[in-house]
Structure 1
Amino acid sequence: MYIELHASSAFSFLDGASLPEALVERAAALGYPALALADRDGVYGAPRFHLAAKKAGIKAIIGAELTVGVTTTGQRPATSDAVFRLPVLIESRQGYQNLCRLVTLMKLRAPKGEGALAIDELDGFTSGLVALA
């Protein structure tokens, strides 16, 4: 049994092309019991994704692909070598709260598309989250 754990929707500009509903429709057609949506630096498509998955009878796994910089300032490092994307999936209500806190922390302090979490900022906000390698 295969389950896609790192799908991106059209809410991740230039990373995904399909709307959450189309992803769910295709997953259901392929017989997937579940599907994970991990859009870049946010949970923008999560409500539509969850509703579509519920209607299709498959389990919706919500997550995000967080931009993390090897820095302590919270700003995106000057070189792309010092930035990586960390896919995380939610396994509980606490995980959803922690993911939202991390995304908010990153978004509030930098212009759109320029934010990054410092690796040490994950400390204390990992409960209920599963990181993918």
Structure 2
Amino acid sequence: MIEIEFEEPKIDKCDCCGQEIVRLTRFVHQDDNAFAVYYINFTRGHSPKVVYGLVGLGEWGDGTEPKDRLAFPFKIWTNDSNYQVGLVDAEESPWSHVTFLGQILNRNEGLKHEWIKDVFHITDHIVADDKIVIDYFNKSGE
């Protein structure tokens, strides 16, 4: 069973329009063990509405390092009434320079990796359980 630990969002201002940029950090536990960390980034008022994310999977215990993990960059958007999730290349990720979550895989590498099912399981939970993300897509004008 997956459980997500929700931290308070960090809010910045977009240089191009002054709208709020929302940044989220979430810790994912599976069966009471550290399982993953994900980052979310979106800007209110930008169109189309898109959420960028990066999920890191691998070893999280004491003595582990980023080399013990892999990171999968993705984006979430909607069409009509359904969420859409797709992996993106590392260079498209707002965290392309971040190493803490592990080596960032490009789209084709990620889609072929055995952990891809875990990535999509986590993104399913994001669109079902992460209230800030859900509210962003459901509120008009944001």
For the superposition of Structure 1 and Structure 2, which TM-score range results when normalised by the shorter chain? 0.3 to 0.5
Normalised by the length of structure 2, the TM-score is 0.31
More helix by share: 1
Task: Identify which of structures 1 and 2 has the higher relative contact order when contacts are C-alpha pairs closer than 8 Å and 6+ apart.
Answer: 1
Normalised by the length of structure 1, the TM-score is 0.32
